[in-house]
Protein backbone atom coordinates (compact mmCIF):
# COMPACT_ATOMS: atom_id res chain seq x y z
CA UNK A 1 0.00 0.00 0.00
CA UNK A 2 1.34 3.43 -0.95
CA UNK A 3 2.05 6.03 1.72
CA UNK A 4 -0.54 8.41 0.21
CA UNK A 5 -3.20 5.81 0.90
CA UNK A 6 -2.37 5.40 4.53
CA UNK A 7 -5.26 6.59 6.65
CA UNK A 8 -4.93 8.43 9.90
CA UNK A 9 -3.85 6.63 13.02
CA UNK A 10 -1.92 3.70 11.55
CA UNK A 11 0.16 2.04 14.24
CA UNK A 12 3.84 1.76 13.39
CA UNK A 13 6.45 -0.09 15.41
CA UNK A 14 9.87 1.56 15.41
CA UNK A 15 13.03 0.17 16.92
CA UNK A 16 15.35 2.88 18.26
CA UNK A 17 18.89 1.76 18.96
CA UNK A 18 20.90 4.86 18.04
CA UNK A 19 24.34 5.24 19.63
CA UNK A 20 23.53 2.36 21.94
CA UNK A 21 21.47 4.74 24.08
CA UNK A 22 17.92 3.85 23.12
CA UNK A 23 16.76 0.28 23.07
CA UNK A 24 13.48 -1.61 22.95
CA UNK A 25 10.30 -1.30 20.98
CA UNK A 26 8.16 1.83 21.06
CA UNK A 27 4.60 1.97 19.78
CA UNK A 28 3.91 5.19 17.90
CA UNK A 29 0.70 6.78 16.67
CA UNK A 30 1.29 8.09 13.16
CA UNK A 31 -0.95 9.80 10.62
CA UNK A 32 -0.49 11.74 7.39
CA UNK A 33 0.51 14.85 9.35
CA UNK A 34 3.19 12.98 11.29
CA UNK A 35 2.95 12.27 15.00
CA UNK A 36 -0.08 13.93 16.57
CA UNK A 37 -1.05 13.80 20.20
CA UNK A 38 -3.90 11.72 21.53
CA UNK A 39 -5.93 14.18 23.59
CA UNK A 40 -8.67 13.43 26.10
CA UNK A 41 -10.85 16.50 26.55
CA UNK A 42 -12.64 17.19 29.81
CA UNK A 43 -16.41 16.82 29.94
CA UNK A 44 -16.68 20.29 31.48
CA UNK A 45 -14.96 23.48 30.40
CA UNK A 46 -12.89 25.09 33.18
CA UNK A 47 -11.58 28.66 32.94
CA UNK A 48 -7.79 28.96 32.78
CA UNK A 49 -5.81 31.13 35.18
CA UNK A 50 -2.69 32.75 33.73
CA UNK A 51 -0.23 35.37 34.90
CA UNK A 52 -0.55 38.57 32.88
CA UNK A 53 2.21 41.05 32.01
CA UNK A 54 1.64 42.79 35.34
CA UNK A 55 2.22 39.60 37.31
CA UNK A 56 -1.44 39.27 38.28
CA UNK A 57 -3.44 36.05 38.02
CA UNK A 58 -6.29 36.54 35.55
CA UNK A 59 -9.15 34.21 34.64
CA UNK A 60 -9.67 33.63 30.92
CA UNK A 61 -11.12 31.21 28.38
CA UNK A 62 -9.06 32.38 25.38
CA UNK A 63 -5.72 33.88 24.43
CA UNK A 64 -4.89 35.85 21.30
CA UNK A 65 -8.25 34.94 19.81
CA UNK A 66 -7.89 31.20 20.43
CA UNK A 67 -10.02 29.22 22.86
CA UNK A 68 -8.23 27.53 25.75
CA UNK A 69 -9.65 23.99 25.93
CA UNK A 70 -9.91 22.00 29.15
CA UNK A 71 -8.00 18.75 28.75
CA UNK A 72 -7.64 15.75 31.04
CA UNK A 73 -4.74 14.01 29.30
CA UNK A 74 -2.26 14.49 26.45
CA UNK A 75 -0.26 11.63 24.97
CA UNK A 76 2.41 13.34 22.89
CA UNK A 77 4.71 12.11 20.14
CA UNK A 78 8.32 11.08 19.81
CA UNK A 79 11.51 13.10 20.15
CA UNK A 80 14.53 12.16 18.06
CA UNK A 81 17.32 14.47 16.91
CA UNK A 82 17.18 14.80 13.14
CA UNK A 83 20.95 15.04 12.73
CA UNK A 84 22.27 12.47 15.19
CA UNK A 85 19.27 10.16 15.30
CA UNK A 86 19.38 9.94 19.09
CA UNK A 87 17.03 11.22 21.74
CA UNK A 88 19.79 12.24 24.13
CA UNK A 89 22.36 14.82 23.05
CA UNK A 90 25.38 15.73 25.11
CA UNK A 91 27.08 19.10 24.82
CA UNK A 92 26.44 22.80 25.20
CA UNK A 93 24.11 24.73 22.95
CA UNK A 94 26.98 26.29 21.02
CA UNK A 95 28.41 22.84 20.28
CA UNK A 96 25.14 21.69 18.73
CA UNK A 97 25.33 24.24 15.94
CA UNK A 98 21.77 25.62 16.10
CA UNK A 99 20.68 29.24 16.18
CA UNK A 100 17.06 28.83 17.27
CA UNK A 101 16.67 30.77 20.52
CA UNK A 102 13.72 32.50 22.14
CA UNK A 103 13.11 35.16 24.76
CA UNK A 104 13.27 33.50 28.19
CA UNK A 105 13.55 36.67 30.27
CA UNK A 106 10.20 35.78 31.83
CA UNK A 107 7.42 33.18 31.35
CA UNK A 108 5.31 35.93 29.77
CA UNK A 109 8.10 36.75 27.28
CA UNK A 110 8.59 33.10 26.30
CA UNK A 111 4.84 32.65 25.83
CA UNK A 112 4.59 35.70 23.59
CA UNK A 113 7.67 34.69 21.58
CA UNK A 114 6.54 31.13 20.86
CA UNK A 115 2.74 31.18 20.81
CA UNK A 116 1.28 29.96 17.52
CA UNK A 117 4.65 28.87 16.09
CA UNK A 118 5.69 25.46 14.77
CA UNK A 119 8.98 24.88 16.57
CA UNK A 120 10.79 21.71 15.45
CA UNK A 121 14.06 22.19 17.36
CA UNK A 122 15.74 19.80 14.93
CA UNK A 123 13.31 17.05 15.95
CA UNK A 124 12.88 14.38 13.29
CA UNK A 125 9.18 14.12 14.11
CA UNK A 126 8.36 17.82 13.92
CA UNK A 127 6.76 20.15 16.45
CA UNK A 128 6.45 17.79 19.40
CA UNK A 129 6.09 18.79 23.04
CA UNK A 130 9.75 18.05 23.82
CA UNK A 131 10.75 20.33 20.92
CA UNK A 132 9.45 23.34 22.83
CA UNK A 133 11.19 22.19 26.01
CA UNK A 134 14.36 21.73 23.99
CA UNK A 135 14.47 25.33 22.73
CA UNK A 136 13.78 26.58 26.25
CA UNK A 137 16.74 24.60 27.62
CA UNK A 138 18.87 25.89 24.73
CA UNK A 139 17.82 29.50 25.26
CA UNK A 140 17.86 29.49 29.06
CA UNK A 141 20.59 27.03 30.08
CA UNK A 142 22.71 26.95 26.89
CA UNK A 143 22.48 23.14 26.77
CA UNK A 144 20.21 20.35 25.66
CA UNK A 145 17.35 18.63 27.46
CA UNK A 146 17.26 14.84 27.79
CA UNK A 147 14.44 12.29 27.64
CA UNK A 148 16.86 9.85 29.28
CA UNK A 149 17.06 7.59 26.24
CA UNK A 150 13.31 7.09 25.85
CA UNK A 151 12.40 9.65 23.22
CA UNK A 152 9.30 10.34 25.36
CA UNK A 153 8.35 13.46 27.29
CA UNK A 154 7.66 11.51 30.47
CA UNK A 155 11.23 10.18 30.31
CA UNK A 156 12.49 13.66 31.20
CA UNK A 157 12.01 12.88 34.91
CA UNK A 158 14.06 9.66 34.71
CA UNK A 159 17.26 11.69 34.87
CA UNK A 160 16.02 14.76 36.72
CA UNK A 161 19.41 15.64 38.16
CA UNK A 162 20.97 15.76 34.69
CA UNK A 163 18.18 17.90 33.25
CA UNK A 164 18.19 20.27 36.22
CA UNK A 165 21.94 20.78 36.49
CA UNK A 166 22.66 24.08 38.22
CA UNK A 167 19.92 25.90 36.33
CA UNK A 168 16.68 24.37 37.65
CA UNK A 169 15.14 23.18 40.90
CA UNK A 170 13.36 19.81 40.71
CA UNK A 171 9.97 19.23 42.31
CA UNK A 172 7.82 16.10 42.29
CA UNK A 173 4.06 15.59 42.12
CA UNK A 174 3.59 16.00 45.87
CA UNK A 175 4.61 19.66 45.42
CA UNK A 176 1.96 20.43 42.78
CA UNK A 177 0.44 23.07 45.06
CA UNK A 178 3.61 25.14 44.60
CA UNK A 179 3.37 25.32 40.78
CA UNK A 180 3.91 28.82 39.40
CA UNK A 181 4.29 30.41 35.98
CA UNK A 182 7.53 29.30 34.30
CA UNK A 183 7.62 25.77 35.75
CA UNK A 184 8.12 22.97 33.20
CA UNK A 185 5.62 20.23 34.02
CA UNK A 186 6.19 16.62 33.00
CA UNK A 187 3.14 14.36 32.76
CA UNK A 188 2.61 10.61 32.56
CA UNK A 189 -0.46 9.25 30.79
CA UNK A 190 -0.74 7.38 27.53
CA UNK A 191 2.37 6.05 25.87
CA UNK A 192 4.64 9.10 25.76
CA UNK A 193 3.37 11.53 28.36
CA UNK A 194 3.60 15.26 27.84
CA UNK A 195 5.61 18.35 28.83
CA UNK A 196 4.86 22.06 28.79
CA UNK A 197 5.37 25.31 30.68
CA UNK A 198 2.91 26.40 33.36
CA UNK A 199 1.46 29.88 32.87
CA UNK A 200 -0.13 30.19 36.30
CA UNK A 201 -1.00 28.34 39.50
CA UNK A 202 -3.09 25.18 39.89
CA UNK A 203 -6.75 26.09 40.44
CA UNK A 204 -9.55 23.53 40.72
CA UNK A 205 -7.12 20.78 39.74
CA UNK A 206 -6.11 22.36 36.41
CA UNK A 207 -3.21 24.50 35.25
CA UNK A 208 -2.77 26.65 32.13
CA UNK A 209 -0.03 25.03 30.03
CA UNK A 210 1.97 26.42 27.11
CA UNK A 211 3.05 23.57 24.86
CA UNK A 212 3.34 22.03 21.42
CA UNK A 213 1.47 19.06 19.95
CA UNK A 214 -1.45 19.60 22.29
CA UNK A 215 -4.24 20.51 19.88
CA UNK A 216 -2.89 23.59 18.12
CA UNK A 217 -2.83 24.02 14.34
CA UNK A 218 -1.13 21.22 12.41
CA UNK A 219 2.53 21.78 11.49
CA UNK A 220 4.31 20.65 8.36
CA UNK A 221 6.48 17.71 9.27
CA UNK A 222 4.33 16.64 12.20
CA UNK A 223 3.00 17.85 15.50
CA UNK A 224 1.06 21.00 16.23
CA UNK A 225 1.90 24.64 16.89
CA UNK A 226 2.38 26.10 20.35
CA UNK A 227 -0.89 26.86 22.08
CA UNK A 228 -2.38 27.07 25.57
CA UNK A 229 -4.51 24.39 27.20
CA UNK A 230 -5.99 24.01 30.67
CA UNK A 231 -4.74 20.58 31.73
CA UNK A 232 -5.64 18.28 34.62
CA UNK A 233 -2.64 17.66 36.88
CA UNK A 234 -3.66 14.15 37.94
CA UNK A 235 -0.92 12.65 35.75
CA UNK A 236 1.83 15.03 36.90
CA UNK A 237 5.16 13.30 37.56
CA UNK A 238 7.21 16.32 38.52
CA UNK A 239 8.45 19.67 37.30
CA UNK A 240 11.51 21.85 36.76
CA UNK A 241 11.66 25.43 37.99
CA UNK A 242 14.19 27.75 36.33
CA UNK A 243 16.16 29.36 39.13
CA UNK A 244 15.83 32.72 37.37
CA UNK A 245 12.06 32.51 37.94
CA UNK A 246 12.21 31.74 41.64
CA UNK A 247 10.20 34.31 43.52
CA UNK A 248 12.05 35.79 46.48
CA UNK A 249 10.51 35.02 49.83
CA UNK A 250 8.57 38.05 51.07
CA UNK A 251 10.47 39.84 53.75
CA UNK A 252 8.55 39.96 57.04
CA UNK A 253 7.35 43.40 57.99
CA UNK A 254 9.57 44.49 60.87
CA UNK A 255 7.84 45.27 64.12
CA UNK A 256 8.32 48.96 64.79
CA UNK A 257 10.59 49.59 67.74
CA UNK A 258 8.97 52.13 70.01
CA UNK A 259 11.01 55.25 70.54
CA UNK A 260 12.65 55.25 73.96
CA UNK A 261 10.92 57.39 76.51
CA UNK A 262 12.71 60.68 76.97
CA UNK A 263 15.02 60.70 79.95
CA UNK A 264 13.63 63.04 82.56
CA UNK A 265 16.06 65.72 83.74
CA UNK A 266 15.12 65.49 87.37
CA UNK A 267 17.00 68.67 88.18
CA UNK A 268 14.83 70.69 85.77
CA UNK A 269 11.52 68.93 86.07
CA UNK A 270 10.47 65.92 88.09
CA UNK A 271 7.55 63.94 89.38
CA UNK A 272 7.55 63.90 93.16
CA UNK A 273 7.54 60.43 94.69
CA UNK A 274 6.91 59.39 98.24
CA UNK A 275 10.01 60.04 100.35
CA UNK A 276 11.29 63.00 98.30
CA UNK A 277 12.59 65.97 100.29
CA UNK A 278 14.03 69.24 99.04
CA UNK A 279 17.25 68.45 100.83
CA UNK A 280 17.51 65.14 98.93
CA UNK A 281 16.76 66.95 95.66
CA UNK A 282 19.38 69.66 96.38
CA UNK A 283 22.06 67.07 97.13
CA UNK A 284 21.19 65.13 93.97
CA UNK A 285 21.29 68.23 91.76
CA UNK A 286 24.00 70.35 93.46
CA UNK A 287 26.10 67.71 95.16
CA UNK A 288 25.52 69.00 98.71
CA UNK A 289 22.85 70.38 101.01
CA UNK A 290 23.04 74.04 102.09
CA UNK A 291 20.51 75.05 104.72
CA UNK A 292 19.20 78.45 105.64
CA UNK A 293 18.84 81.22 103.08
CA UNK A 294 20.25 79.09 100.26
CA UNK A 295 17.66 76.38 100.92
CA UNK A 296 14.82 78.94 100.96
CA UNK A 297 15.96 80.45 97.67
CA UNK A 298 16.26 76.99 96.17
CA UNK A 299 12.70 76.18 97.32
CA UNK A 300 11.43 79.37 95.71
CA UNK A 301 12.78 78.20 92.36
CA UNK A 302 10.70 74.98 92.27
CA UNK A 303 7.15 75.54 90.94
CA UNK A 304 4.17 73.19 91.19
CA UNK A 305 2.68 72.32 87.78
CA UNK A 306 -0.11 70.05 88.98
CA UNK A 307 -1.39 70.58 92.50
CA UNK A 308 -1.03 74.34 92.86
CA UNK A 309 0.00 75.75 89.56
CA UNK A 310 2.45 78.65 89.57
CA UNK A 311 3.11 78.40 93.32
CA UNK A 312 6.48 77.28 94.64
CA UNK A 313 7.61 74.68 97.11
CA UNK A 314 8.63 77.55 99.35
CA UNK A 315 5.06 78.89 99.18
CA UNK A 316 3.86 75.52 100.36
CA UNK A 317 6.04 75.78 103.41
CA UNK A 318 4.82 79.24 104.32
CA UNK A 319 1.29 79.63 102.94
CA UNK A 320 -1.96 77.83 103.53
CA UNK A 321 -2.64 78.03 99.79
CA UNK A 322 0.73 76.69 98.71
CA UNK A 323 2.07 73.19 98.20
CA UNK A 324 5.29 71.76 99.51
CA UNK A 325 6.33 68.37 98.23
CA UNK A 326 3.50 65.94 97.66
CA UNK A 327 3.77 62.57 95.95
CA UNK A 328 2.29 62.79 92.47
CA UNK A 329 2.93 66.48 91.96
CA UNK A 330 5.05 67.63 89.04
CA UNK A 331 7.50 70.39 89.91
CA UNK A 332 9.70 72.50 87.63
CA UNK A 333 12.90 74.36 88.58
CA UNK A 334 13.06 77.91 87.20
CA UNK A 335 16.07 79.24 89.06
CA UNK A 336 16.76 80.61 92.54
CA UNK A 337 15.07 83.77 93.70
Query: Considering the entire predicted model, what is its pTM?
Result: 0.66
pLDDT in tens for each of the 337 residues of the chain? 333 333 333 333 232 323 222 222 333 344 444 578 899 999 999 999 999 888 899 999 999 999 999 999 999 878 888 876 655 444 443 445 456 789 999 999 999 999 999 999 988 889 999 999 999 999 999 988 999 888 899 999 999 999 999 999 999 999 999 999 999 999 998 899 999 999 999 999 999 999 999 999 999 888 999 999 999 999 999 999 999 999 877 778 888 888 776 666 889 888 888 888 888 999 989 889 998 888 888 988 888 888 877 788 888 877 765 557 888 888 889 887 6
Cβ-in-10-Å burial (0-12, 13-18, 19+) of 44 comes to exposed
Strand partners, 232: 206
What is the DSSP track for 199-235?
Answer: -S--BTTEEEEEESSSSS-B-TTSBB--EEEEEE-TT
Radius of gyration of the chain (CA): 39
Quick check: 67 and 41 in contact, CB under 8 A?
no
- Whole-angstrom CA distances from 71 to 38, 235, 242 are 11, 12, 25
C-alpha 151/C-alpha 153 separation (Å) is 7
Half-sphere exposure of 250 (CA within 13 A, CB side): 3
In this predicted model, what pLDDT tens digit does every residue of 25-41 receive, in sequence order?
Answer: 333 344 444 578 899 99
Distance CA 233, CA 72 (A): 8
CA 66, 68, 74, 76 torsion-angle sign? positive
What DSSP designation does 122 have? Answer: T
What is the C-alpha separation between 205 and 55, in angstroms, rounded? 21
Amino acid sequence: MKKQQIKKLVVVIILLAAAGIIGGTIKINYDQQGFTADIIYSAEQEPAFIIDDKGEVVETTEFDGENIPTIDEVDGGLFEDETSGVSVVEGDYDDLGWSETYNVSSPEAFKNDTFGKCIRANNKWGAQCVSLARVFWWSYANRDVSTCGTGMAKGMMNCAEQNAGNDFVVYWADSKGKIQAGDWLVFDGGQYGHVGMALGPVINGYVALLGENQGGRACEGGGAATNIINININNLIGFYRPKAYIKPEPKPTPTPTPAPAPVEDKCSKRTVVKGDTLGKIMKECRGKITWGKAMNEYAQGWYSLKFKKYLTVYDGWNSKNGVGLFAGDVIEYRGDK
